[in-house]
């Protein structure tokens, strides 16, 4: 069996043609494709607005900025996520506060959030780990009571639903962000988006994406000196996506229902194969949501935990591209140096010690799925 990666993009001739068409046109950046892509993202998730960015990380940075996160503020998130979730707040001088996770889902545990809230808390950032939605309504209730905003890190969860609505509809949050990195549900190479129903936040994020400069006359603070006149209102960045990336995004998004269905079918096969497994636990979908299955984690039972490295190496040797998601952020050397302690989130630590992600991606073939399930069982 050839090497099977844990995740992989799915690019067709149609996608390639869409990119080439833009490359042959007059506008390869800041043209019409960005707006079209944004409208389609918003329509797909059911939000009023979407802003495209050069990465999911840029979308996080802009989200936090638009909600006013700054020096001295705190925001609460889980340590079981990609470093970008907390790094984006550090960029603004704010301090991430890590809240422990539920040991079965890896999602932030709402029961622990309230004790982490202080006068400085501005935002709560739930991650829908592996694509399985967090308890949004419960988190929303806590946030409302304490006058705190919510940004959903939906990088794993494009296409997932919570109580019938798509992640990104922002029914229980201010902003949701997505990533279009090649291992995510759809790709633009690098890329990301933020969705919201709040026009002010939408405008702030657009401003942030383009150096903090605006052409909108009714927001000018000084005299409009002519048709060339722009004003810079904030210290923004160049976080724009190119038009040919947006064209790829549009083409990819047109196929997302098939992508999600395929991921769910693979997950169902794994679920059946690993039901009542003696060696590890699997994450079952919550009653209130549908997972987009960005990842398929297996969680070693206690007696196998000390064998994780051996099992991992054995699976790699058999050409099964396993990965671990994630090394908790509070044990990264950079974070330890600025005062964080891994032991403060024992469930995240435990989760990390048990977790191995096995391959799941839409182009995965029947014989690959079978090979993975059989090989895993035989190795144990
Ligand atoms: C991929 C990812 C990001 C960042 O996305 P990029 O597009 O790579 O910048 C943020 N958060 C999570 C949970 C992710 O998985």
- 229-234: list long-range contacts, CB under 8 Å, 24+ apart: 233/207, 234/65, 234/204, 234/207, 234/208
Residue 158: which of 281, 256, 69 has the closest Cα? 256
Length of the chain (residues): 380
**Structure confidence at residue 178 (pLDDT):** 98
Please count the CA atoms within 13 angstroms of the CA of 119 that sit on its side-chain side.
1
**Structure confidence at residue 227 (pLDDT):** 93
- What's the CA gap between 146 and 114, in Å, rounded? 9
Does the Cβ of 300 fall within 6 Å of ligand 1? Answer: no
- Which of 7, 84, 192 for mutating ligand 1's site (highest number of atoms within 8 Å of CB)? 84
Does the Cβ of 179 fall within 6 Å of ligand 1? Answer: yes
Q: Got the DSSP string for 265-328?
A: HHHHHHHHHTTT-SSEEEPPPPTTEE---S-EEEEE-GGGGGGHHHHHHHHHHTTB--B-----
Residues forming beta bridges with residue 232, ordered by sequence position: 213
How far away, in angstroms, is 151 Cα from ligand 1 center? Answer: 14
How far away, in angstroms, is 226 Cα from ligand 1 center? Answer: 41
- Closest atom of ligand 1 to 181 CA is 7
102 to 61, 119, 151, 305, 352: CA distances (angstroms):
26, 25, 19, 18, 12
- What's the CA gap between 368 and 1, in Å, rounded? 8
**Within the chain, which residues score under 50 in pLDDT?**
none
Does the Cβ of 61 fall within 6 Å of ligand 1? Answer: no
pTM comes to 0.97
Within a 10 A sphere around the Cβ of 365, how many other Cβ atoms?
A: 9
User: Could you tell me the maximum CA-CA distance found in the chain, to the nearest angstrom?
Assistant: 74
**Structure confidence at residue 267 (pLDDT):** 98
- Closest atom of ligand 1 to 190 CA is 7
Both tokens of 306, joined, read 């000390």
**Structure confidence at residue 180 (pLDDT):** 98
Rg for the chain, CA atoms, rounded: 21
How far away, in angstroms, is 2 Cα from ligand 1 center? Answer: 28
The separation between CA 208 and the C-alpha centre of its own chain, rounded to angstroms, equals 20
**Structure confidence at residue 31 (pLDDT):** 86
């Amino acid at each position: 069996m050839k090497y099977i990666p844990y995740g992989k993009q799915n690019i067709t001739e149609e996608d390639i043609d869409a990119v080439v068409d833009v490359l042959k046109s007059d506008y390869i950046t800041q043209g019409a494709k960005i707006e079209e892509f944004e409208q389609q993202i918003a329509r797909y998730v059911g939000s009023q607005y979407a802003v495209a960015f050069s990465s999911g990380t840029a979308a996080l940075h802009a989200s936090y900025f638009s909600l006013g996160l700054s020096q001295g503020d705190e925001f609460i998130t889980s340590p079981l996520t990609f470093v970008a979730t907390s790094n984006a707040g550090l960029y603004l001088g704010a301090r991430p506060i890590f809240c422990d996770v539920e040991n079965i889902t890896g999602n932030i545990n709402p029961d622990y959030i309230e004790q982490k809230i202080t006068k400085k808390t501005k935002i709560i950032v739930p991650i829908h780990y592996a694509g399985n939605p967090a308890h949004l309504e419960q988190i929303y209730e806590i946030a409302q009571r304490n006058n705190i905003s919510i940004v959903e890190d939906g990088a794993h969860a494009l296409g997932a639903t919570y109580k019938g609505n798509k992640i990104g509809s922002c029914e229980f949050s201010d902003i949701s962000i997505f990533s279009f990195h090649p291992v995510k549900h759809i790709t633009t190479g690098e890329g990301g988006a933020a969705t919201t129903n709040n026009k002010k936040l939408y405008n702030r994020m657009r401003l942030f994406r383009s150096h903090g400069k605006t052409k909108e006359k009714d927001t000018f603070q000084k005299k409009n000196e002519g048709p060339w006149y722009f004003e810079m209102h904030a210290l923004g960045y160049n976080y724009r996506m190119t038009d040919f990336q947006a064209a790829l995004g549009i083409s990819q998004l047109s196929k997302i229902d098939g992508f999600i269905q395929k991921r769910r079918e693979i997950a169902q096969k794994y679920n059946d194969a690993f039901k009542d497994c003696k060696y590890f636990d699997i994450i079952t979908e919550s009653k209130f949501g549908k997972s987009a299955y960005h990842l398929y984690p297996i969680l070693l039972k206690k007696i196998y935990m000390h064998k994780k490295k051996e099992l991992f190496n054995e699976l790699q040797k058999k050409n099964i591209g396993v990965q671990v998601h994630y090394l908790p952020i509070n044990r990264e050397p950079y974070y330890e140096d600025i005062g964080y302690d891994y032991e403060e989130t024992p469930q995240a630590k435990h989760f990390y010690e048990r977790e191995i992600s096995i391959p799941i991606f839409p182009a995965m073939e029947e014989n690959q799925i079978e090979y993975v399930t059989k090989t895993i069982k035989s190795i144990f």
